[in-house]
Amino acid sequence: MALITLRKLLDKAAEGQYGVGGFNVNNMEQIQAIMEAARETSSPVILQASRGARQYANDTFLYHLMLAANELYPELPIVLHQDHGSAEACKSAVDMGYTSVMIDGSLKDDHKTPNSFEDNVRVTKEIVEYAHAKGVSVEAELGVIGGIEDGAGAGDMKSEYLTDPDQAVEFVKETGVDALAVAIGTSHGVYKFSKKPDHSVLVMDRIVEIHKRLPNTHLVMHGSSSVPQELLQEINQYGGAIKPTWGVPVKEIQMGIRHGVRKINVDTDTRLAVTAAIRKFFVEHPEKFDPREYLSEGRTANKKMIAERMKAFGQAGHAEDFK
């Protein structure tokens, strides 16, 4: 199956009323874990590369690893997505062959300071015109996601960072984006909430309101790792020191899916799964030193977690939609 655009994938997801996980990748083992989970669950796939990932792995290495996934799993529909890109990063991803880009015009060039609405519209329109001319989808962000991960995010979450429904309608009309990432209180990184989140910190009603006004716009939840408590416990049991923290409950994500959320970004959970497995391996096998052995443990744990998310988001069984 050929690579597909994000728009095509999310249009199908909207028809089927399910969500699709956007999983971030940095190396071969992460890509393999995602693809094996997708094959096991017969799921469509979004492979996401951040600016940090492209710098870490080298653009050519990472891009060809993702192309290898397309070659080795021909039965699965795959989107190659640039996550949280500047205008320059988005254009380079389009030129390289990515099928989708996210222009993060919500932040200034330092990737931390909130941008004005007008400047966000301006840079987003620029990328929409550039990408659409080459058949590439565009995701954009309105409001600001809190936390910092891979250089993206605005630090502490503030109420004024939340997406304004009226502005969302204007933004989509002015830019013509294919998907809109909305800020509802989620944040990047592992330290999202100091207690199990409720509606006082996770403003799910904002998604409901935006979906009512933009029923034909695909919504995206960023910073939506669930931070499983059992993974934190395992990491700390085997030498880690992660402070108490909570993520976005899966049931809240499922509520979002019922109200127009079609793409759910997951990165931290995959890092936690890999780290927990590798820490455990080294404690139980202190004599081992072969990276193939401990990386295989991380890959297996990651695959298990991703398969669980694919089932929870409803994308399992929908690879067939694209044949």
Q: State residue 148's pLDDT score.
A: 45
Q: Is 119 a catalytic residue?
A: no
Q: Give the DSSP H/E element, type plus range, for residue 220.
A: strand 218-221
Tell me if residue 30 falls in helix, strand or coil: helix
Among 83, 104, 178, 269, which one carries the catalytic annotation? 83
Beta bridge partners of 179: 139, 218
Q: At the topology level of CATH, where does 6-322 sit?
A: TIM Barrel (3.20.20)
Cα distances (angstroms) measured from residue 88 to each of 63, 127, 319: 17, 9, 32
Q: What is the C-alpha end-to-end distance of the chain, expressed in Å? A: 8
The Cα 274–Cα 280 span in angstroms is 10
34 token code pair: 């995602």
Structure confidence at residue 306 (pLDDT)? 98
Q: Is the pTM of this model over 0.85?
A: yes
Per-residue pLDDT 10s for the chain (323 aa) are 789 999 999 999 999 999 999 999 999 999 999 999 999 999 999 999 999 999 999 999 999 999 999 999 999 999 999 999 999 999 999 999 999 999 999 888 777 788 899 999 999 999 999 999 999 999 999 987 765 444 454 444 455 678 999 999 999 999 999 999 999 887 778 877 777 876 666 788 899 999 999 999 999 999 889 999 999 999 999 999 999 999 999 999 999 999 999 999 999 999 999 999 999 999 999 999 999 999 999 999 999 999 999 999 999 999 999 98
- For the chain, the domains span 6-322
Alpha helices in the chain (DSSP H): 6-16, 28-41, 51-57, 59-72, 87-96, 117-132, 165-175, 204-213, 229-237, 250-258, 268-284, 291-313
